[in-house]
Chain A
């Protein structure tokens, strides 16, 4: 395992970055008072100091506490939406690719057309239409509503190529039923690929949630990473020189995206060893 990681550098980098993130959240949760992530719990606009290592914002939130409380919230949105998306996506993809025919045409067309429509805009319409402020979980569900499109498309293509392999044909000739072939023959071969798809879906969901939040459509009460950036933009922190305000959420978000990205590249390499040598 370790020797393999040595060869699959992206996987190693991805796991390391996410490991740092988990460590930060874990240690933070034990040592930092998450209550100071609320406004007015600290003096406003302090640059980083011994007391407030990440500084404080204009409303008097301790940014270290905001990061400790907000990172898991943002990740939660990503994972809920990502899991739902890949779950629905795989069911649709397997159905479409295995049975072909009109079902396939329908599912493929929906996914293809759905993907040409920018998801963020649809999410904006939904978020604006819902009355009042959202909670973190509602946010996740809304994003999940569109998160299945991309997995459906990619998993379907993968199943289609697997379907042509000899062993699937043999299983069919041996009288295995459709669902049985999907579960026993296709699934095990697709697992690394599904994992890679899941990681990119989580990443896409986080991107969508941060986007909505920056536009001011997020959970106003929750100190998520995107909401923090919304306040940064709202208060024009850059022009005012309050660099610490945006540095902390920026670094955490970058670590999240880089970690997930390298993880998915690494998993892709596990799924497609053919590309491994040429990489």
Chain B
């Protein structure tokens, strides 16, 4: 359809990938020395139980990013490496590659975050729309203050309270992990149920906090939209209030709400990292937490890079969907 627009948006996505790679390369070197080298050498000098392969890693790293080479050479090498999807080995779990570890964790995070984000976005948007509608039942107004209050709290803090209440006190739900320690991952009902049970607490902490935010934003947009001239004209046209509500109010108020979703993805993800860390949920966040504990620099870099790229891609998808929601966009851009 609007090829120029899509190409442009894809260009922005590539730009984000490049920025992520560049930050990954230069930020650690800002302090004047290469902390990767320092850490690798530290790790290697410990010897002992540390994997024998670390020597190989050090040698390879020296060869590629040796101090004798100019910085721009090292940078190009790094870009080449990343463009081939090579994110190096994990320092702490040597024979395993960073890509392999991330691939293992990613589905968990995508599952948890995808479901919770879409659900809270949909539920919050509907709730917010209803809250702004004069014909909505009165009791709904009582939902607002608690949602506001929850919205102001970080995900993981609510996670702490929920895990104490539902897992420790009431013992309804497991407190830790993505599935029971004894369970073997398989596509059986038992295992799926186990996984879902483990996902409830982290999901609940994310949903309860986010719903209020989306509801609040949508309510504001609805109030603005309901003051628009086309709503008055729609009323003068004698439309059903249901038609006005859905096709005139919500349909327009959802536009800034969708832009808001694209902008909030990063924040949601940052919050989810902490939730996973708290609950030991086997996704990217917990992996990152583990990597930080183990000082596994390559793994940290790899995760940060992957996550930024994934978010950039999600934003790209939203950007492509957006003109379909708002006919004014594709034309004004091209």
Indicate whether A and B are direct neighbours in the complex (CB within 8 Å): yes
Closest residue on chain B to residue A206 by CB atoms = B154
Chain B residues within 8 Å of A119, by CB: 266, 270
Stretch in A54-62, A73-81, A180-188, A253-261 touching the partner: A253-261
> Are A238 and B293 in contact (CB-based, < 8 A)?
no
With contacts A117-B19, A124-B292 known, what are 11 further pairs, Cβ within 8 A? Answer: A113-B19, A116-B16, A116-B311, A124-B288, A128-B35, A128-B292, A211-B154, A215-B273, A254-B153, A254-B157, A265-B148
Indicate if the CB atoms of A117 and B160 lie closer than 8 Å. Answer: no
A125 and B292 in contact, given A113-B15, A116-B265 (Cβ under 8 angstroms)? no
List the 6 closest A-B pairs by CB distance, nearest first.
A261-B152, A120-B270, A118-B266, A129-B28, A121-B304, A118-B270
Cβ-defined contact, B266 with A253, below 8 A: no
User: What CA separation (Å) do A262 and B30 show in the bound complex?
Assistant: 39
Q: Which residue of B has the minimal Cβ distance to A243?
A: B164
Is A124 a contact of B175 with CB atoms below 8 Å? no
Residues in B156-203 with C-beta less than 8 Å from chain A: 156-157, 160-161, 163-164, 167-168, 175-176
Q: How many residues of A contact B (CB 8 A)?
A: 44
> Are the CB atoms of B265 and A238 closer together than 8 Å?
no
Q: What is the bound-complex CA distance between A120 and B176, given in angstroms?
A: 23
Contacts of B15 in A (CB 8 A): 113
Residues of A within 8 A of B12 (CB): 113
Contact B266 A250 (CB under 8 A): no
A183-215 vs B: 1/0 string, CB under 8 Å? 000000000000000000001000110110011
Q: Contact: A239 with B277, CB < 8 Å? A: no
In the complex, are the beta carbons of A216 and B31 less than 8 A apart? no
Q: Given the known A-B contacts A128-B297, A238-B163, A257-B153, are A117 and B266 also in contact in the complex, defined by CB atoms under 8 Å?
A: yes
Does A231 lie at the interface of the complex (its beta carbon under 8 Å from any beta carbon of B)? Answer: no
Closest Cβ of chain B to A230, distance in Å, is: 10
Contact with A along B1-42 (1 / 0, CB 8 A): 000000000001001100110011001111100010010000
Tell me if A116 and B270 are in contact (CB < 8 A). Answer: no
**Which residues from chain B contact A49 at a C-beta distance below 8 Å?**
none
Residues of B within 8 A of A217 (CB): 292
Q: A residues within 8 Å of B by Cβ?
A: 113, 115-122, 124-126, 128-131, 203, 207-208, 210-211, 214-217, 229, 232-233, 238-239, 241, 243, 246, 250, 253-254, 257-258, 260-262, 265, 275, 278
B105: A residues at CB distance < 8 A: none
A-B contact count (CB 8 A): 133
**B273 and A120 contact, CB distance less than 8 A:** yes
Smallest CB-CB separation from B265: which chain A residue? A116
Q: Given the known A-B contacts A241-B168, A246-B160, are A122 and B265 also in contact in the complex, defined by CB atoms under 8 Å? A: no
B292 touches A253 (CB 8 A): no
Contacts A120-B270, A215-B289, A238-B163: A115 and B157 contacting too (C-beta < 8 A)? no
Contact call A131/B31, Cβ cutoff below 8 A: yes
> Complex Cα distance A274/B277, Å?
42
User: Once bound together, how far apart are the Cα atoms of A115 and B278, in whole Å?
Assistant: 25
Residue B269 lies at the interface, judged by CB distance under 8 Å to chain A: yes
With both beta carbons as reference points, the residue of chain A lying nearest to B293 in the complex is identified as: A216
User: Using Cβ atoms and an 8 Å threshold, which residues of chain B touch A120?
Assistant: 270, 273
Residue of A nearest to B308 (CB): A117
Contact assessment for B269 and A118 in the assembled complex, using a CB-CB cutoff below 8 Å: yes
A254 to B157, CA, bound (A): 8
Give the CA-CA distance A214 to B159 in the complex, in Å. Answer: 13
Known contacts: A115-B263, A115-B266, A116-B263. The answer to whether A122 contacts B311 by CB under 8 A is no
Min C-beta distance of B258 to chain A, whole Å = 14
Contact A117 B20 (CB under 8 A): yes
Q: Answer yes or no: B274 CB below 8 A from chain A CBs.
A: yes
A129 and B27 contacting across the interface, CB-CB below 8 Å: yes
A125 to B301, CA, bound (A): 7
Complex A-B: 6 CB contacts under 8 Å = A122-B23, A125-B24, A128-B292, A215-B289, A254-B153, A258-B149
Task: Flag whether B332 is at the interface (Cβ < 8 A).
Answer: no
| Shortest distance between the CB of A142 and any CB in chain B (Å) | 11
Quick one: closest A residue to B285, CB to CB? A215
* B315 in the interface (beta carbon within 8 A): yes
Chain B contacts for A129, CB-based, 8 A: 27-31, 35
User: Given A113-B19, A118-B311, A238-B160, do A125 and B270 touch, yes or no (CB 8 Å)?
Assistant: no
User: What are the residues of chain B within 8 A of A115 when measuring CB–CB?
Assistant: 263, 266
A129-B34 Cα distance, complex, nearest whole Å: 9
In the bound complex, CA of A250 to CA of B38 (Å): 37
State the Cβ distance, A234 to closest chain B Cβ, in Å.
Answer: 9
- The chain A residue with its CB closest to the CB of B12 is A113
